[in-house]
Amino acid sequence: MAEQQTGAAAGKLVIRNIGLMLSGDLARPILDADTIVADKGTIVAVGKAADVDAGGAATVIDAKGTTVAPGLIDSHVHPVFGDWTPRQSQLGWIDSFLNGGVTTMVSAGEVHLPGRPKDVVGVKALAVTAQRAFAGFRPGGVKVLAGAPVIEQGMVEDDFKELAAAGVTLLGEVGLGGVKAGDEAKHMVAWARKYGIQSTIHTGGPSIPGSGLIDRDVVMEADADVIGHINGGHTALPFDQIRDLCADTRRSIEIVHNGNEKAALHALRIARDIGQLERVILGTDSPAGSGVQPLGILRLIAMLAALGDVPAEQAFCLATGNTARQRRLGCGLVEPGRAADFVIMDKAQHSAGRTILDSVRLGDIPGIGMVVIDGVVRVGRSRNTPPATIVPEVVA
């Protein structure tokens, strides 16, 4: 397992000889650049080798003509404490996601904690504890944004004010607790938004005992910031309801691995057809009953590119820049001022695709050769992806 790190910033990093640079930005998904310079964990320059200051680097990575993309972001996870999940009694799941190119995770609620408190005092205490714990403990360097309380009946505006003052920035999935009615949820969602806390709502049929059906009318009335797993977690809404949620709202459209794949493609095509692909973000919705999916984000990217008629370079944006902007994160884009989080990839050995993008269009996931978080190399060749054709190398 990778060393457990809190994410201390690195010295100067240079990544050179990049063959393809994916930006994470839908408007310009491919950059005409071959070199990245970062310092103290932040990107400071992106461009051609002759045009950037690459001198004095503490670490130099030779990409050897492979592809560099922003580190992947999983918009929907359910952590508990440490790198362990009681949902599947599994250790090291976050480190496994790191080997799938995921550098940032966003909690949709720490709902799998055995004996999870449901009284107001306990709800707040758990949220603050989870937020503090993952701020100080980053498995392999992965940034886990946790402390997402599941709202319960009896919460009042001052509870959200108190949570925000304590550093809580997220709500867990609305609908996984005692609050399931749209008229009740909308007041709490509005209070959360007032104090800078972003909300996500469960969408579709029940996923765990205690959850329930959350249909189109409830989602629209509650008006949460993120329409969580619009393709169901696991059971999706009827397609006409998915269409309405995409076309008649302006909230984030979250597609997850642990949902209905046909519904995922339906939501993607609607977002594309109405010219709002920037609203689409990706998550795994794991750990869950279906397990832990370390390659879930890569598999979603390949599926949406292969079957959803989205160019592969744009499909990567759904799991990077789109999520960063919708979730208000400082990573996810290859541009100065952003976190130096990268996944270095190549097409998998023996893929039928001629290039990495061609292979993804055909439905193959790429091979990961290296993952960098905050300017620090966290893993080399992935133990979970198929082997990359060419692997980058730390040369200094």
Q: What are phi and psi of 350, to 5 degrees?
A: 70, 15
What is the chain's alpha carbon radius of gyration, rounded to the nearest angstrom? 20
Global confidence as pTM: 0.96
Which residues, in sequence order, are CB contacts of 129 under 8 Å at separation 6+? 147
List the one residue out of 223, 258, 26, 256 whose CA is nearest residue 267: 256
- Residue 9's pLDDT is 58
Residue 176, in any domain of the structure: yes
Is the domain of 94 the same as that of 242? Answer: yes
HSE-up of residue 190 (Cα within 13 Å, Cβ side): 8
| pLDDT at residue 233, rounded to an integer | 85
Residue ranges making up the domain that contains 30: 13-70+333-394
Single out the residue of 196, 198, 192, 186 nearest to residue 76, CA to CA. 198
In three-state secondary structure terms, 158 is helix
| Within-domain flag for 308 | no
* pLDDT given at position 211: 67
Strand partners, 371: 343, 379
Asked whether residue 348 falls in the same domain as residue 247, the answer is no
On whether residue 301 sits in a domain, the answer given is no
Residues 96 and 44 in one domain: no
> What is the 8-class DSSP label of residue 41?
T
Shared domain for 370 and 222, answered yes or no, is: no
Instruction: Say if residue 26 is in the same domain as residue 148.
Output: no
Q: Are residues 94 and 225 in the same domain?
A: yes
Residue 134 lies in a domain: yes
Q: Mean pLDDT per segment of 10 residues, for the chain of length 396 residues?
A: 50 97 98 98 98 96 98 98 94 97 98 96 98 96 98 97 98 95 96 98 83 91 98 94 98 97 98 98 95 96 97 98 98 98 98 98 98 98 98 96
Q: Do residues 113 and 254 share a domain? A: yes
pLDDT at 4: 47
Task: Using the Cα atoms of residue 315, residue 321, residue 327 and residue 331 in order, give the sign of their dihedral.
Answer: positive
Instruction: Note whether residue 304 is domain-resident.
Output: no
Other C-beta atoms lying within 10 Å of the C-beta of residue 273: 12
Task: Order the strands of the 252-256 sheet from edge to edge.
Answer: 170-174, 198-201, 226-227, 252-256, 280-283
pLDDT at 8: 53
Please tell me the total number of residues recorded for the chain in this structure.
396
For residue 108, count other CB atoms closer than 10 A to its CB.
31
Q: Are residues 225 and 268 in the same domain?
A: yes
| pLDDT for the residue 220 | 98
Residue 307 included in any domain: no
Continuous segment of H or E residues that includes residue 170: strand 170-174
Element (H, E) at 159: helix 157-165
355 shares a domain with 257: no
CATH no. for residue 337? 2.30.40.10
We report the CATH number of the domain holding residue 269 as 3.20.20.140
Last residue within a domain, chosen from 240, 273, 294: 294
Verify that 195 and 209 share a domain, yes or no: yes
**325 domain-assigned:** no
Of the candidates 245, 263, 294, which is a domain's last residue? 294
Question: Are 43 and 86 in the same domain?
Answer: no
Name the DSSP letter for residue 94: H
**Tally of domains within the chain:** 2
Are residues 50 and 196 both part of a single domain? no
- Tokens (6 digits) for 353: 């695709």
Q: Cα dist. 21→134, 196, 201, 219 in Å? A: 31, 33, 34, 37
| DSSP, res 326 | H
Establish if 302 belongs to a structural domain.
no
